[in-house]
Structure 1
Amino acid sequence: MKIFYGKGWNWHRLGPQEKTKALELIQTHHWPECQKWFLGVPSENINCLEINVASNECEALYGSLIYQQDAEEEHNRSVFHFYLTKDCLFTMNFDLSVFEGVHPKQVEHQLNRCKDAPEAFLVLVGELVNAYFVELEQFENNLRTLKWKFYHDNNKSIIEAIHKLRHELLIMKSLVMTMKKLAMAVKEAFVSKHFDGIEQCRTLYKIDRVITLIKDYANDINYLLHSEEVVTSHRGNEIFKALTIFTTLFTPVTAFGALWGMNFKYMPELSFKYGYLYSLVLIGFSTVMVYLYLKKKGWTGDLLKDKKKYMKRKSSFK
């Protein structure tokens, strides 16, 4: 167990096997209500957050929260447990060192400026949000790369990449919303306290900023998904259009071929010296007339123009 002594408050950092020491820190008048939660520690299945305001000036906030989650494996996650009063905070299995961009010395300086345990707890929440910012920066880079890849070469792998980023963003949103609920619970539990300190306001602003970023990224991903649906629908329409055109153009050939394949007893065309020539000319003429009719209606132009535009766009980026 490690103890950080602040100005009128202290923070006990406990390991996952120090449950007995944690029990000694819980105030007796809080025990009946938090007994169910504490007996379930360590729990890695649910997010639990409870407020105890039964006694005036002895408010408490406690629970178990997921603060790190792997995007690929559901059970690869980190859960910390905490108990918070005005002058005491203990955490179990809480390790900021697993995140990039966390500076222990800077965190210690911030904690030294805190006047009570709730303010210090918000500082720790703010550091978690800082770690999420680092992960969001990498996410933004991946999203930017995907946008250009979607523009240049849209294929089946694009939709898979979009859904993967969407899943990662949902995981990140879940973690951030957990911190949002935690900050709101701190303000609710210690409502008599004025949350106007610099460190407290900074944490609340961080949470609002990261939520805004996540909303913007979600809009971008939804736009990509919508664009993918439009492209897929357009391709399907082009395929059906091409099949319709081919079927229509070859209708004369099919009709005359059907006549040639008939074996009636009386076949007057057998005596025609230039029967094949006349038939071929008639087939060709009928096919050309059908094509000209389709072209006049504008039912063939898009297929040819789209291909030319696509090739022109591809060459402009070389």
Structure 2
Amino acid sequence: MNHHMLRFPEGWEWHLLSRNRTDADLPDCKKMFPLCADWLDASEERLTDHISVTELPGGEAAVHGTLMIPLSDDEQDVGPFHFWLSAQRLVTNQQDMRFSLRLQLAPWEDKLERSGSAPEAFTVMLSCALESFHDGLDAFEKRLESLEESMRLRHRADQMELIFSRRYELLHWSHHYIAVKELEAALKEAFMGSLTESEGYRKLVYKLQRIETLIMHYGAEIDTLISMDDAVYALRGNDIMRTLTFFITLVAPAAVAGTLWGTNFRRIPWAAEPWGFAVPGGIVLAITFFIYLWLRRRGVTGAALHTRQEERRQRSAKAAARKRRTRSSKDAQSGSTASASLIPSSGGESLPRRSSRGTTPH
């Protein structure tokens, strides 16, 4: 068991405990901190968030438990932060000391020195832990923007899997945010006015509000992407069904005629006539043509046949607009060249420059 005690100018203490699972000197640690004995036993194997508000003998409030904090912007890099907190004492127990070492660097070391009590110093530590939230959410925002750009340019079949992957990432950060938010409420419940007026607590509240705004905004963006993906697939399904209905309806007369002619009749009408195939075939084509006109009037053929035509019209319109812009720029350049060739005369008028070649003096 490694034990380091830091005493700060305002009189509060920070006890840093670091022990391995194989350490056998836990009873000595309990004797050193008798009020924390139950917390030490409970925190040995705990790897989940747990927050508890208790009252010490004499009515003094205390908060203890475990907070799973991100140690970097990697969502898999998470470690337990075991803490026991009273008005003048903070005891922490960690196996990974990266977070404790970060607190001893600028500017967090100076903020801890200026803290007036252990609860205020603990809010400073939570603000330090939330820095990893911002780094992780910044990396998440880049991946979300890449997903939005890919959906805007080219909608692939696996887009929904990517959207769900971003949703799970956001749920990961939201889960850790809720734990810190619960701990902030527990600190407010335990220490009330003596803490809520401190600078460290107010900064922690503002930081939590910033993170909450980001999480809500990203959640709304992902919901929008899911709705857009559903709408795209619904439109594609409707277009496919409309196209199938259109073509099935068109080939129905020919299918009926082929079925009738393929039946084993003893005598097929007009089979011996020279026009016995041309006339029924013409009747089938005429019926098919009238069905096509009826479907076109009803607007069924619009999405099935005219999409490419609309795309061609749009490309033609863009090409014509580019030609007009090019022509306008050339006209502007020629106008500026003509104006530059004018020479001001003595009377203040602009006269065209004349070449001396081939002129006759008078």
**TM-score in terms of structure 2 length:** 0.77
Kept after mapping to 2: 8 A contact 1:66/1:78: yes
C-alpha deviation, 1:38, in angstroms: 3.1
What are the residue-to-residue correspondences of 1:1-318 with 2, within 5 Å? Answer: 1-6=3-8, 7-17=10-20, 20=26, 22-28=29-35, 35=38, 37-56=39-58, 58-68=60-70, 77-93=78-94, 97=98, 104-307=105-308
Alignment RMSD, CA only?
2.9
Cα displacement (A) at 1:161: 0.7
**Shift in alpha-carbon separation, 1:25–1:280, aligned structure 2, 3 A:** farther
Matched letter for residue 3 of structure 1: M
Which protein, 1 or 2, shows the higher relative CO under an 8 Å CA cutoff with sep ≥ 6? 1
Give 1:303 deviation, angstroms: 2.6
Distance 1:125 1:114 in 2: 13
Note the C-alpha offset of 1:254.
0.2
Distance apart, 1:245 and its partner CA: 1.0
| DSSP 3-state at the match of 2:300 | coil
Change (3 A) 1:23 1:309: farther
C-alpha displacement of 1:298:
0.5
1:290 to 1:25, Cα distance in 2 relative to 1, 3 A: farther
Q: Deviations over 1:44-91 (max 9, x none)?
A: 4432111112544521110012113999998x7421211111111111
What 5-or-longer segments of structure 2 have no aligned partner?
A: 319-362
How far off its partner does 1:302 sit?
2.1
Q: How many Å separate the matches in 2 of 1:310 and 1:139? A: 36
Deviation per residue, 1:79-129 (Å, 9 max, x gap):
121111111111112757479x98822110110110111001000100111
AA in 1 matched with 2:292: Y
**289-298 vs 149-158, which deviates more?**
149-158
State the alpha-carbon separation in 1 of the partners of residues 14 and 294 from structure 2: 84
Q: Is the 8 A contact 1:13 1:94 kept in 2?
A: no
Change (3 A) 1:45 1:197: closer
Q: SS at the partner of 1:270?
A: coil
Contact 1:66 1:77 in 2 (8 A): yes
Structure 1 residues 187, 64: CA separation in 2 closer, same or farther (over 3 Å shift)?
same
Alpha carbons of structure 1 residues 115 and 147: separation in structure 2 relative to 1, 3 Å: same
Distance verdict in 2 for CA 1:43–1:297, change over 3 Å: same
CA distance in 2: counterparts of 1:231 and 1:70, whole angstroms:
37
Q: Quick one: structure 1 residues 70 and 256, their matched pair in 2 at CA, closer, same or farther if it must change by over 3 Å?
A: farther
Change (3 A) 1:129 1:77: closer
Same amino acid, percent of matched pairs: 26
Alpha-carbon distance between aligned partners in 2 of 1:213 and 1:232, rounded to the nearest angstrom: 29
CA separation in 2, counterparts of 1:61 and 1:199? 17
Are 2:103 and 2:109, in contact at CA under 8 Å, matched by a contact in 1?
Answer: no
**Shift in CA distance, 103/161, structure 1 to aligned 2, threshold 3 Å:** farther
Partner-residue secondary structure (3-state), 2:194: coil
CA distance in 1 between counterparts of 2:97 and 2:132 reads 9
TM-score, length-normalised on structure 1? 0.87
Task: Compute the displacement of 1:43 (Å).
Answer: 2.7
2:73 touches 2:132 (CA, 8 Å); kept in 1?
no
Q: What is the aligned length? A: 308
Deviation at 1:39, TM superposition (A): 1.9
State the alpha-carbon separation in 1 of the partners of residues 140 and 99 from structure 2.
18
- For the 8 Å contact 2:163–2:222, the answer to whether it is kept is yes
**Change in CA separation of 1:48 and 1:98 when aligned onto 2, cut-off 3 Å:** closer
Residues 26, 83 of structure 1: 8 Å contact kept: no
- What one-letter code is carried by the residue in structure 1 that aligns with 2:80? V
- Distance in 2 between residues matched to 1:153 and 1:235, nearest whole Å: 14
Q: How far off its partner does 1:233 sit?
A: 1.4
Q: Which amino acid aligns with 2:65?
A: G
Aligned to 2:355: none
Shift of 1:273: 0.2
Structure 2 CA distance for aligned equivalents of residues 179 and 97 of structure 1: 19
